[in-house]
Amino acid sequence: MGKQRAKYGDKELDDAVQAVLAGAQLKATSKERNIAHSTLKKYVAAARMNAPLEANRRGPPPMLPKSSEDSIRDWILERQVSGHPVGRRDVIRKEQQIAELVCSVPVVEGWLWRFMERHPSLSLRKSQSITKARNEVEESDLSVLFSSLAKVIIENKMGAARVFNVDETAIETKREHKKVVVTNGSKNVWHRDIKTQFHLSFVACRSANGYVIPPLFIFPGESVSEDVFGTCQIPGAGVTTTEKAFMTGSLFARWLRFFFLVMPFLHQF
């Protein structure tokens, strides 16, 4: 039976080197941390000469040169930043294209995991799908919106009873989530959703002092079954339709009339 190699990583090796530099005995440290005496001695000597060594990679050399793998890593990061992160198969396909040009060697499934071991800044994460419209809203747009609202509220001396927030929210039948390769530590992992299917939408509205307007439900199509009205248990709720269950300009005008009907006290202003 051959001699089994000690298992340690770059951090363990670096910690051992720092311990010796701090005054620990080299032989004792080698035995305690299960690192070959000759290996530890070599790295300690290099550190004392301010010429640190890189640990030799175990196993066969990578199929692609480092420059090619760095290009793949940069491509992954660029795709993430643009909102089009790549999945596992996308990375393997890209590597296959490069391998055909560089070494003409077929790629196997295990290549990706070895690639990610060599690039610890990457990880597999689940990507959140967002729509194109949501993605196009920028911080400057929000600043203009809130500063305009603040100006109107102050100039008209509006109290909480006259400040309302209204929003349309869709209930989706399907939302695609997929695992993608991204930078380690990324807080927001998302991708653009080109086509989303909706079951229905609803409009919710509430004042700053807590008054809630009955919701409006928007169904797709041209008509709604009478059974829908019977199953709705929210007093005063409205039900309507549009072609794709989205809010439209004409429907919003109709909703404003609905708003004033259920808020009679607003007529005094």
pLDDT classification of 97: cutoffs 50, 70, 90: confident
Same domain, 34 and 154: no
124 vs 174, residue with greater confidence: 124
| Residue pLDDT, tens place only, 189-247 | 555 554 545 567 889 999 888 888 889 888 888 877 777 667 778 888 888 888 878 88
Same domain, 74 and 107: yes
Identity of the amino acid at 152? V
* Structure confidence at residue 118 (pLDDT): 83
* Structure confidence at residue 1 (pLDDT): 45
Q: Is residue 3 part of a domain?
A: no
Q: Is residue 145 part of a domain?
A: yes
Residue 122 has pLDDT above 50, yes or no: yes
Q: How many domains does the chain have?
A: 3
**What are 120's two structure tokens?**
């610890």
Same domain, 181 and 235: yes
Same domain, 93 and 146: no
Integer Cα distance of 249 and 137 in angstroms: 20
* Structure confidence at residue 5 (pLDDT): 56
Q: If you average pLDDT over residues 97-107, what whole number do you get? A: 78
As a whole-number percent, the residues of the chain with pLDDT over 70 amount to 75
Q: If you average pLDDT over residues 80-93, what whole number do you get? A: 82
Same domain, 248 and 143: yes
Integer Cα distance of 161 and 244 in angstroms: 33
Phi, psi (degrees; rounded to nearest 5) at 167? -150, 150
Same domain, 149 and 97: no
Same domain, 262 and 145: yes
Residue 202: count other Cβ atoms within 10 Å of its Cβ.
20
Of 230, 179, 174, nearest to 197 by C-alpha is 174
190 vs 144, residue with greater confidence: 144
Q: Is residue 125 part of a domain?
A: no
Q: If you average pLDDT over residues 174-187, what whole number do you get? A: 62
Q: If you average pLDDT over residues 246-255, what whole number do you get? A: 88
Residue 173 has pLDDT above 50, yes or no: yes
Integer Cα distance of 176 and 136 in angstroms: 19
Do 247 and 215 form a contact (C-beta atoms < 8 A)? Answer: no
Q: Is residue 60 part of a domain?
A: no
Q: Is residue 53 part of a domain?
A: no
* Structure confidence at residue 267 (pLDDT): 47
* Structure confidence at residue 269 (pLDDT): 46
Same domain, 147 and 30: no
Host domain of residue 260: 131-268
Same domain, 218 and 152: yes
H-type helices in 84-157, by residue range?
A: 88-102, 111-118, 132-135, 139-155
Residue 159 has pLDDT above 50, yes or no: yes
Integer Cα distance of 199 and 195 in angstroms: 13
Distances (CA, A) of 161 to 53, 140, 207: 69, 28, 6
Same domain, 144 and 190: yes
Do 98 and 68 form a contact (C-beta atoms < 8 A)? Answer: yes
Pairing of strands 198-207, 164-172: antiparallel
Q: Is residue 160 part of a domain?
A: yes
Phi, psi (degrees; rounded to nearest 5) at 16? -65, -40
Q: Is residue 144 part of a domain?
A: yes
What is the separation of C-alpha 81 from the centre of its chain, rounded to a whole number of angstroms? 10
* Structure confidence at residue 134 (pLDDT): 55
Distances (CA, A) of 192 to 91, 121, 141: 18, 23, 20
Identity of the amino acid at 269? F
Residue 27 has pLDDT above 50, yes or no: yes
Same domain, 111 and 163: no
Residue 82 class from Cβ within 10 Å (0-12 exposed, 13-18 middle, 19+ buried)? exposed
Same domain, 154 and 250: yes
Residue 88 has pLDDT above 70, yes or no: yes
Residue 123 has pLDDT above 70, yes or no: yes
Q: Is residue 153 part of a domain?
A: yes
Give the 3-state secondary structure of residue 23.
coil
